[in-house]
Structure 1
Amino acid sequence: MDTTQGKQEPDRNLALDLVRVTEAAAIASARWLGLGQKEDGDAAAVAAMRATFSALDIDGQVVIGEGEKDEAPMLFNGERVGSGKGPAMDVAVDPLEGTNLLAMGRPNAIAVVALAPKGAFFDPKPGFYMKKLVVPAQARGLVDISAPVGDTLAIVAHALGKKVKDVVVFVLEKARHAQLITAIRQAGARIQLHTDGDVAGAIMAASPDSEVDVLMGTGGTPEGVLAAAAMRILGAEIQGMLDPQSPAERAALEAAGIDQSRILYTHELVKSDDIFFAATGVSGGTFLPGVEFPGHGGAVTTSLVMRGKTGTIRHIRSSHSLEKLRRFSVVDYDKAAA
């Protein structure tokens, strides 16, 4: 009897190749930790990520970036990446999420990439900012981003078997969140305020071993799509609503005929389970340890690597010999360290 009938041969786990891309970006940008030069740190991450992508056997196209919003040297939307020899993939990137975190020597800056089949990622068009709600798997399907904050926190607390006063909410420390912060405090929950980094915050909210239980507030739309890739793999939930932060952004959305009141769910932000996600810590923090330089020309990285098709989640700690990498790597680590 042929037991292989109807089964597919295992295909390649691109996430294990993808982590080399985030590792390179993390190592290159980590040299700028605390130096107050966010553009230089960002440029180092972008250059390393772009160069390492060239060795990855995919026919990739960047569809999610944030260069236009931040006027950063981002891998631009429409840019082709990869060797061109592999499967056609859409690419979502943030070579350095938390440029300010890195520049100021603060925790939770990361390098992050996600891959998906063409057309799987939500196209934000001119929508740079998104209101987000992220809850762990236990509360998936139970919450509504348009509901009052107190009601949402009560639902999450009940789903987790906690009291509201035990719930911790990740919020970006921005002036736009003054009312949100007041509402969370009135509900009795606790708050972690972070200046940047809501991809890391979303994963923290979804992870059972994190002290963060939920993420609320407005952040970048590209980060929302990246977070959705991780949420889809982790079984958690993200809901989003485009939330323009300037008259020009609002007018652009209206001109594009985009309904700003529409709730975007996880399966709409990322429309496939055949996704790959990798993130490497740059500065140390509660999400991933940062890049370490233990001496003698070495570097140590810690990464989170996930594959949607199998649900496999790996934490990878890697030791790198920069001296050996310089002999054949496409990344100019000497320039990054200058």
Structure 2
Amino acid sequence: MRTTGWPVPGTTGGFRTEERYLGASAGTGGPDHALALELVPVTEAAAVAAGRWVGHGDENRGKVAAAGTVHRLITSVSMRGVVVVDEGGQPRSAGAEIGAGAGPACDVGISVGGAALSAARDVPTALAAIAVAERGGLYDPSPVRSMEKLAVGPHLADVVDIDRPVAQNLRAVAAAKGVRVPDVVVAVLNRPWHRKLVHDIHEAGARVHLVEGGEVAGAIAPALRESPVDMLLGTGGAAEGVIAAAALSCLGGSLQARPRPGGPEHSDTGPAVGEVLHTQDLVRGESIVFCATGVTDSEVLPGIQHHSGRAITQSIVLCSNPDTVRIVKSEHRHSRWRGHEEHQFA
């Protein structure tokens, strides 16, 4: 089903929304499609705030600007939220109560800094994302710093295992898809600690797609019908793993994660902690929503486009109940953000 002119609160100018309804609505008392739409103006504003720093050689300022925008605007969202995950966000925000104080009781995950590279690489934040689940639904990643991850789409969830060798998983994916191993595309975050992983994938004969932006986008990509990516492999932040799991849960995809105590740069030598976690361990409940707006181009969304006097953003809005995928394209007049931008650059 395709709908044009869907009223997204808080947007300015013209926009277009594309919807694909995958299931019927069922009220659960948790976060729903109405709450998901309330998140769109929040991630849009955060993306615009971060995007003002693209090319200025200071990715941390973009992260801070986006985080501050999220925490300021999310106070108007109709929920009784508690921050469980805040990747790249405000200091000491975990456990903070957010939202308007009315509506469903929710766990909230915020990601505005998962794409940090060196300032010279000019990718300050690929996505500004918010995940919301029923209270108690989000895994608290604070005890661990990083996770080894394997993400796939709906039709491959039962054919891969993070404990298997890379080559064995690649052969299983190829067999399930009815293709050759050289036709399998594996997304890997482009970081120094993944050199051996990239070598192993090449040795097995598969193709590597290096993810320059954030691993949240890279993990979501295998579950998108239009994406050429079949699987994500590699080690990254624990918080990003929880945020990605929320999106994959809405899309029917699968994430397997092995927690590690050290940073991802120690992924080849650091020991694993506990058992492998699956999507349902990282995010629980029947009602899960996810909203993200592109800052720079990623595997999921295009970045902000700037034209004379206006900025165009594109967002993805996912809801598990009802199963819905929305793509929201919005046009913002720069005057709406002028005061905020001047404050950032002061």
Query: Which band: TM-score by shorter chain?
Result: 0.7 to 0.9
Q: What SS does the corresponding residue of 1:334 show, helix, strand or coil?
A: helix
Question: Paired residue for 1:25?
Answer: 46
Rounded to whole Å, the distance in 2 between the matches of 1:36 and 1:286 is 23
How far apart are residue 337 of structure 1 and its match?
5.3
Rounded to whole Å, the distance in 1 between the matches of 2:122 and 2:191 is 19
Q: What SS does the corresponding residue of 1:54 show, helix, strand or coil?
A: helix
Equivalent residues, number: 316
Q: What SS does the corresponding residue of 2:113 show, helix, strand or coil?
A: strand
1:43-63 residue CA offsets vs partner (Å, 9 max, x unmatched): 110111111111112111110
> Do the aligned residues in 2 keep the contact of 1:32 with 1:103 (CA within 8 Å)?
no
Q: What SS does the corresponding residue of 2:285 show, helix, strand or coil?
A: coil
Rounded to whole Å, the distance in 1 between the matches of 2:78 and 2:120 is 33
Question: Paired residue for 1:16?
Answer: 37
Rounded to whole Å, the distance in 2 between the matches of 1:101 and 1:26 is 19
Rounded to whole Å, the distance in 2 between the matches of 1:278 and 1:59 is 17
Cα-Cα RMSD: 2.7
Question: Paired residue for 1:63?
Answer: 84
Question: Paired residue for 1:291?
Answer: 304
> Do the aligned residues in 2 keep the contact of 1:203 with 1:227 (CA within 8 Å)?
yes
Rounded to whole Å, the distance in 2 between the matches of 1:322 and 1:54 is 23
Q: Does 1:312 align with 2:333?
A: no
Question: Paired residue for 1:271?
Answer: 284
Q: What SS does the corresponding residue of 2:219 show, helix, strand or coil?
A: helix
> Do the aligned residues in 1 keep the contact of 2:48 with 2:304 (CA within 8 Å)?
yes
1:243-302 residue CA offsets vs partner (Å, 9 max, x unmatched): 23269x99xx99xxxx81401011111111301100100012442111122122x22100
> Do the aligned residues in 1 keep the contact of 2:213 with 2:298 (CA within 8 Å)?
no
Q: What SS does the corresponding residue of 1:21 show, helix, strand or coil?
A: helix
Q: Which has the higher contact order (CA 8 A, sep 6+)?
A: 2
Q: Which runs of 5+ in 2 are unaligned?
A: 1-25
Q: Does 1:37 align with 2:58?
A: yes
> Do the aligned residues in 1 keep the contact of 2:146 with 2:237 (CA within 8 Å)?
yes
Normalised TM-score (structure 1): 0.86
Report the CA distance shift for 1:137/1:101 in structure 2 as closer, same or farther (over 3 A): farther
Q: Does 1:97 align with 2:97?
A: no
Q: Does 1:114 align with 2:114?
A: no
Rounded to whole Å, the distance in 1 between the matches of 2:92 and 2:131 is 13
Report the CA distance shift for 1:75/1:278 in structure 2 as closer, same or farther (over 3 A): farther
Report the CA distance shift for 1:134/1:101 in structure 2 as closer, same or farther (over 3 A): farther
* 1:103-182 equivalences in 2 (<5 Å): 104-106=121-123, 109-182=126-199
Report the CA distance shift for 1:210/1:246 in structure 2 as closer, same or farther (over 3 A): closer
Q: Does 1:204 align with 2:225?
A: no
Q: Which runs of 5+ in 1 are unaligned?
A: 1-6
1:198-218 residue CA offsets vs partner (Å, 9 max, x unmatched): 100011122121121100011
Following TM superposition, the consecutive aligned residue runs of length 4 or more in structure 1 with deviations greater than 4 angstroms are: 7-12
